[in-house]
Structure 1
Amino acid sequence: MTAQQNTSTQAEAPAAAAAPGTATATAPPARNGIRLRAPELTGRRWINTGGEDLTLQDLRGKIVLLDFWTFCCINCLHVLDELRPIEEKYGDVLVTIGVHSPKFEFERTVEAVDQAVERYGVEHIVLDDPDLVTWQAYTARAWPTLTLIDPEGYIVASMSGEGHSAGLASLIEELAAEHEAKGTLHRGDGPYVPPAPVERDLSYPGKVIRLADVPGHEGNLLVADSGHHSLVEFDPNGTRILQRIGTGVRGRTDGADDTAQFSEPGGITELPRDLADAAGYDLVIADTVNHLLRGVRLGAPGEAAVVTTLAGTGEQFMVGAHDNVTDKPGAQAPFEEPGTAIKLSSPWDVLWSAESERVVIAMAGNHTIWDFDPRTGVVRQLSGTMNEGLRDSASSDEPAWYAQTSGLAPAADGTIWIADSETSALRRLDPRDGTVTTQVGVGLFDFGFQDGPAAEARLQHPLGVAELPDGSVAIADTYNGAVRRYDPLTKTVSTLARGLAEPSDILVVLPEHAEGTAADAREAHLLVAESAAHQLTAVSIPAEALVVAEGAQQTTRPATTIGDGALEIEVGFTVPTGQKLDDRWGDPTHLQVSSTPPELIASGAGGQDGMSRSLTLNPEVRSGVLHITARAASCDGEPGGEIPLHAACHLYQQDWGIPVELEAGGDDVLRLDLRGTN
C-alpha cells in the first residue's frame, strides 16, 4: 500500500492524487498519457489583484505556476528570488500565484501576510490560504512546493524545494511552444496589480548597532534598512538621519554610498579599530539576499562611505553541489576557503567575536554558523551539518543541527547566543570547543507563548538576541511580538514587553558614562528594531517581568497514516529536458532521514546515497514527524553523453517534515516528489 493524501475531486479527474506530480487520473491523453485537472484555488482572499477574486477559468490560456510558500521559511524566500528572472522573461505567458500556506500561528493573520508580501517584494498575485485548503487539494507536503499548470488547466509538473529555475524555464518554453501551435496560449499582461508605493524613512529594519570606535561616528546608530536595500546612520538618539548608504534599489554593486547596492541587508558588526585600519573597512554587513558579506568604510563625516565585497560570489551555496567553491569542483564540508571563492547562503546576522577574533556568521540559508577572518579573507564552516533540526553538540566531533540561524549576540564568557528561528529556540555556542546547548526550544514544529521553566517555555520564530548587563538574555520573539528574557541562573523565561510589531533585533542601551555597575544595569533600556512598524522603539526593562501563559502549540497539518512496521520511502526525481544526472563524483542523489521523536525510527535513519530508503518503525511510538531531505545534482547535457567541460550544473534539494500516525495494516510505502512531471 502507498501513503497518500486526499485531493479535490474534479469532473475530469475523479481519482485521488498522491504526493504532487505522482497522481494518475482518467482524463484526455497528454504528453505522457496522463492528464490531471488542476483543482480550483480556494482561500481567504487574493492579494495583488486590485481587489479582484480569481478562478482557474479566468487564467485559461496562461501557463500558471503555483508557489506554495510560507514567509518564515528561508527556502521559500530563496525560491522567490529564483522566480524573479523567470517571471520577467515569461511575463506575457506566465502567471505566478503564491499560495501562502502558514506554518506558524502568526502567519495565519491577515496583517502578517500583507506585510510579508510587501517586505519580500513579491511581485505576483498571492492567494491567502490560512486553512491550507488549496495546499491539501494539491497534496503539498513541503515548503516550498511548485506546481505548473498548462493553459488548458491541467497539472503538468510538481516539484519541491529549491534549484528548479532551469528546469522550470525549459518546461515553460515547451508549454508555450506546444500551446501556441494548438492555439490555446494567450499572450499579454496577467492579473497582477502592483500596490501603491509607500514613503517611509525605514522599511522593515532588520538589525541595529551602536557605532563604538569609528572616528567621527562614535555613538551613532546604524540600521539595516532591509526593505530599502540600504543602511541608514542615525544620530545617537535615533531621531535624525545622518546618511544613507546604498541607492535603495536591489542590486550588488560595490562603490561609494550613492552608487552601492544591497539586497535586503541584515546583520551589521563593527571591527576593532586596529583591525579596521589594517583591513580598510570599519563594518561587516550580512547582505542576505545577495549571499554576500560586504565591507563598509564610513570615512570622516561628510565623506562618502565605500562598500566592497568581502566574501561570497553572489550565487547561493547549494548543499551537496560540486561547484560551491570556485576552481575546486567537488569540494565538500567542512569548508575553509578564500571568501570570494566560495558561495554563501543567506547570511542573516554577523558578530565580531573577541574570543575567536573572527566575524561569526549566522548562515540561515543552510542552517549553520560560519566565520570570516578579516586578516586573511578566509571563510570557514564553524558549526552545524547543514541538516535542518534541533540537535545539540557535546564537541566539534558531534556537529549540532540548527534551523535558520538568525540572530547572534556575545556572552560575557566568550560564548555566543543564537536565535535559531525555525526551531523557535535559544541556543548557545562555545566557539572554543564547538559545544552547542539549547536553552529554550523543543523542535521544528513546537512553538508558543509560554513563560516559566525553560524546559516548558515556548517562543515563536525569534530573530534577535542580546545579553543584558545582569547576564540574562533578551530575545526578540518576533512572531509573538514580544521581548522575552531568559535567566541562565534560574533557567526560567519571562516577558519584558509585548505588543510589538515583529521585533527583529535588540540593542542594549546603557546610561552615558556607564562603568558596569549594578546602578548602570538598572538604568539600561532596550532599543528594538520593530520591523513591521518600520521604526526603532525604546523599551524599558521592567523591575518585574510579566509571566505569560498562553500555552505551547505545534504546527498542525493533516497526518499521513502509515504502517507500524516496515516502511519504504521513495522520492521521485525527473531530470529536466536538456540535463542529465551529474555522476562524475559518484551517485548524485542522496537521502537524509530522521524523526521526531528519534525513537519513531527503529532502523534505517541517517544519510546515504540514493532516492529510496527502507525503514523499520517502532510500533510503540504511534505518531511523530518524519524528517526527510532529498538532494539530486544534474548538469546540462544529453542523456548517455558526457557532461561538457563548462556545463551549467544544478542542485535540487528539499526538506520534508511529514506528520505521521502509525496504524496496523497502514500504508507501507511513502512516495514523495523532488521533481515530477506529467
Structure 2
Amino acid sequence: MSATMMPPSAVDTLDWVNARGSIALADLRGRVVILLFWNCDDIHSVNLLPRLQRLSTRFHDGMVLLAVHTPRYTAQRQSLVVSKAAHRLHLRAPVANDADWKAWRAFGIEAWPSAVIIDCEGRVARLLKGEDLADDLEILVGNLLDDAAARDLRRFDAAPGVQGGEPQMSLRFPGGIALSEQRVYLCDSSRNRILECAPDGRVLRQFGSGTPGFWDGNLTDAGLCDPAGLALAGDSLYVADTGNHAVRRVRLASGHIETVLGCGRLGYDSPRPDVGARTLAISAPRALLLRENQLYVSLAGQQQIWRMDLPSEQVEVLAGSGLNAFSDGPALEAGLAQPAGLAYHGGHLLIADAGANAVRALRLADGQLTTLAGAGPWQSGLADGGADAARFAHPEALVSDTGGALYVADTLNGRVCRMQPSGRSNWSVQTLVLPQSLQEPAALAIAGRTLWIVERNAHQVHRLDLDSAMLGKFTIGA
C-alpha cells in the first residue's frame, strides 16, 4: 500500500463491540492508528496480542490500537461472541466485528494477523503481516510519531476508551478440568489460577497468584498466565500454562508449583537431547495427557504433539511437521492445525485438531496419523453421521470412556458429540441432546457415567448423567 493512499471508509461503519460510542478514522488524525486484523481462534493472532498491548502502553500518548475481528466460523459473526473473545483475551483496545469481511476486503488483507498502519495525517503507511510483526511495528510507530511531532501534527489527547465486561462469577472463562476421587481441579483461566475444589464445590486451595506472571513458588506465591489444560497423576497436577508458553507441575502435597517444560517465552525451538526441557522456548501448549510416566503435550502454536519422558526429562516431537496443515501419514510428516485436546483409546493418542475442524488418531505402535472425522481447516460445519459426513467447528477437547466411546467438545458449534467405532475403521458422530444450549464448551472430563463439561463463555461447569441425560450445574463456592 502506498503512503499516499487514504484508508477505506469501511472502517467507519464497523460494529464496535466494546467502544464508548462510534469510531471514525477521521477523528483520530494526529495519532498513529494500528488496525489489527485478527481472529480469536487463530493462535498467531492470540500470541501477538500481548506484544501489541505492551506497545500500546508504551506509545499511549500517540498510538491507537483498533482490533478488527474477522470471522472464520459462523458463530464468530455474532458481536456477543466477539465481545466475549476480547474479554477472554484481556484486550483493552476497541474491538470491531467485521462480520461480513468488508474492512478485510477493502484493505486487501490476506491472512491473520495483519496490521494496517495509518499515519498522523490519516494515510495508510504500511501493511505488516504475521505473528512477528511487532518488532517492525515498534520501529515504524516511533518513526511516524517523531516525524509528526517535528511537523507539529501530533496530538496528545485521550485515545478511544472501552467499556463493558463479564459478570462477576466464581469462574472467568474456565478452560481445563481434572478429576480425582475426592477433588475437582479447574483452570480459572482468565484469572490466571487453578482451583482445587471439594465434590460439593467448596474451594479448598488456589494455585497461582491470580496476577499474570511466570515464577515458581508455593500456592498463591507462583505466577500463571491463562492456564488451559490439566493432567492429574498421583501427587502431581500438570498444567498447560498457555499464556506463559510453558508446562507447570503442582506438587499437591505441598502446593509447590514448578516448571517442567518451557522457559516462559514464546518461541519455536525443537527438542534436542543436549538441551534442557526448561530452556526451550515453545508456543502455546493447550492440553496434556499423562500415561505411564509419559507426558503428551499439544503445542497449538507449533502445530505439533510432543512427548516428555518424566523420569529422564527428555523431550521429543511425536507428531506434526510443524506446518499448519491437514494431512495423514507418518507422524513427523503429517500435518496438524492448532492441536488442542488429547485422549487415549486402544493404543491411539486421540487429538482434537481444533484448527483442522477434525478429530485425529495417532497410532502409538508405529506413528501413523489418521483422521477419524472432520474435513479440514476450511471445511467447518455442523453435521452428524459417519466419518466422511461429520463436520465440526474448532473442537477443543475430547475424553474417552471405559466402553470405547469418545466425547468431543465441538466448541464453536456449542455442542458435545459422542463418537463411536462403526466397523473396523470408521467412526460415527452423534450430537448429545442436552436440555440447554452451550456457550463454547472447551474442556471435558469423565468419571463413571458422569460427563463433566466446562462451558467457557458462560463461566460454568456442568455434570451430565449419561444414562438419564440430566444436566446439573457444579456450583463453585468459597
TM-score bracket relative to the smaller structure:
over 0.9
3-state SS of paired residue (1:136): helix
Distance 1:46-1:418 versus aligned 2 partners, 3 A rule: same
Q: Corresponding residue for 2:140?
A: 171
Q: Corresponding residue for 1:389?
A: 325
CA contact (8 A) 2:12 2:25 kept: no
After superposition, the CA RMSD in angstroms is 1.8
Q: Corresponding residue for 2:241?
A: 287
Distance 2:463 2:415 in 1: 13
Q: Corresponding residue for 1:111?
A: 80
More helix by share: 2
Is there any run of 5+ residues in structure 1 with no aligned partner, and where?
1-22, 25-33, 212-217, 277-281, 319-323, 325-331, 511-523, 545-678
Give, in angstroms, the shift of residue 194 of structure 1.
Answer: 4.3
Distance 1:89-1:473 versus aligned 2 partners, 3 A rule: same
Length-normalised TM-score, structure 1: 0.66
3-state SS of paired residue (1:315): coil
Which residue of 358, 363, 378 corresponds with 1:430? 363
Q: Corresponding residue for 1:312?
A: 262
Give, in angstroms, the shift of residue 86 of structure 1.
Answer: 0.6
Q: Corresponding residue for 1:676?
A: none
Which residue of 220, 227, 249 corresponds with 2:211? 249
Q: Deviations over 1:578-628 (max 9, x none)?
A: xxxxxxxxxxxxxxxxxxxxxxxxxxxxxxxxxxxxxxxxxxxxxxxxxxx
Distance 1:64 1:501 in 2: 33
Further displaced range: 419-428 or 429-438: 429-438
Q: Aligned runs of 1:258-657 on 2, under 5 Å? A: 258-271=220-233, 273=234, 282-299=236-253, 305-318=255-268, 324=269, 337-354=275-292, 357-393=293-329, 395-396=330-331, 399-411=333-345, 413-490=346-423, 491-498=427-434, 499-510=437-448, 524-541=449-466
Give, in angstroms, the shift of residue 457 of structure 1.
Answer: 0.8
Determine which structure has more spread, i.e. the larger CA radius of gyration.
1
CA contact (8 A) 1:221 1:235 kept: yes
CA contact (8 A) 2:285 2:301 kept: yes
Q: Corresponding residue for 1:568?
A: none
Q: Deviations over 1:42-89 (max 9, x none)?
A: 444213322x00110111111100110111111110111221221111
CA contact (8 A) 1:312 1:340 kept: yes
Give, in angstroms, the shift of residue 227 of structure 1.
Answer: 1.1
Distance 1:337 1:424 in 2: 34
Distance 2:12 2:145 in 1: 26
CA contact (8 A) 2:17 2:82 kept: no
- One-letter identity of the residue aligned with 1:367: Q
Distance 1:383-1:336 versus aligned 2 partners, 3 A rule: farther
Distance 1:165 1:144 in 2: 11
Distance 1:369 1:205 in 2: 23
Distance 1:167-1:473 versus aligned 2 partners, 3 A rule: same
Distance 2:430 2:286 in 1: 26
- One-letter identity of the residue aligned with 2:255: A
Give, in angstroms, the shift of residue 197 of structure 1.
Answer: 6.5
Distance 1:401-1:335 versus aligned 2 partners, 3 A rule: farther
CA contact (8 A) 1:43 1:129 kept: no
Q: Deviations over 1:256-288 (max 9, x none)?
A: 2122111100111123x4xx5xxxxx1211100
Aligned residues: 463
Give, in angstroms, the shift of residue 186 of structure 1.
Answer: 0.7
Distance 1:245-1:127 versus aligned 2 partners, 3 A rule: same
Which residue of 230, 236, 250 corresponds with 2:199? 236
Distance 1:541-1:383 versus aligned 2 partners, 3 A rule: same
Distance 1:137-1:471 versus aligned 2 partners, 3 A rule: same
CA contact (8 A) 1:335 1:381 kept: no
CA contact (8 A) 2:42 2:112 kept: yes
Which residue of 40, 43, 49 corresponds with 1:74? 43
Which residue of 149, 154, 166 corresponds with 2:118? 149
Give, in angstroms, the shift of residue 336 of structure 1.
Answer: 7.5
Q: Aligned runs of 1:47-86 on 2, under 5 Å? A: 47-50=17-20, 52-86=21-55
3-state SS of paired residue (1:450): coil
Give, in angstroms, the shift of residue 542 of structure 1.
Answer: 5.4
- One-letter identity of the residue aligned with 2:57: E
Among all aligned residue pairs of Structure 1 and Structure 2, give the percentage whose two residues are the same amino acid.
Answer: 29
- One-letter identity of the residue aligned with 2:248: R
Distance 2:364 2:231 in 1: 17
Give, in angstroms, the shift of residue 374 of structure 1.
Answer: 2.0
Distance 1:373 1:442 in 2: 33
- One-letter identity of the residue aligned with 2:354: S
- One-letter identity of the residue aligned with 1:289: G
3-state SS of paired residue (1:447): coil
Distance 1:118 1:461 in 2: 19
Q: Deviations over 1:129-163 (max 9, x none)?
A: 10011111111010111111101111111111111
Is there any run of 5+ residues in structure 2 with no aligned partner, and where?
470-478
Distance 2:114 2:433 in 1: 36
Distance 2:450 2:162 in 1: 43
Give, in angstroms, the shift of residue 489 of structure 1.
Answer: 2.8
Distance 1:347-1:108 versus aligned 2 partners, 3 A rule: same
CA contact (8 A) 2:419 2:428 kept: yes
Distance 1:289-1:144 versus aligned 2 partners, 3 A rule: same
- One-letter identity of the residue aligned with 1:245: F
Q: Corresponding residue for 1:588?
A: none
Length-normalised TM-score, structure 2: 0.93
Q: Whose RCO is larger (CA < 8 A, sep 6+)? A: 1
Q: Does 1:162 align with 2:131?
A: yes
Further displaced range: 335-344 or 435-444: 335-344
Q: Corresponding residue for 1:222?
A: 185
3-state SS of paired residue (1:175): helix
CA contact (8 A) 2:444 2:454 kept: yes
- One-letter identity of the residue aligned with 2:19: T
Distance 1:468 1:336 in 2: 39
- One-letter identity of the residue aligned with 2:186: V
Q: Deviations over 1:284-340 (max 9, x none)?
A: 1110011011111122xxxx611111121111123xxxxx3xxxxxxx678884211
Q: Deviations over 1:101-140 (max 9, x none)?
A: 0011111112211110111101101111100111111110
- One-letter identity of the residue aligned with 2:401: L
- One-letter identity of the residue aligned with 1:440: A
Give, in angstroms, the shift of residue 187 of structure 1.
Answer: 1.6
3-state SS of paired residue (1:316): coil
Distance 1:335-1:444 versus aligned 2 partners, 3 A rule: farther
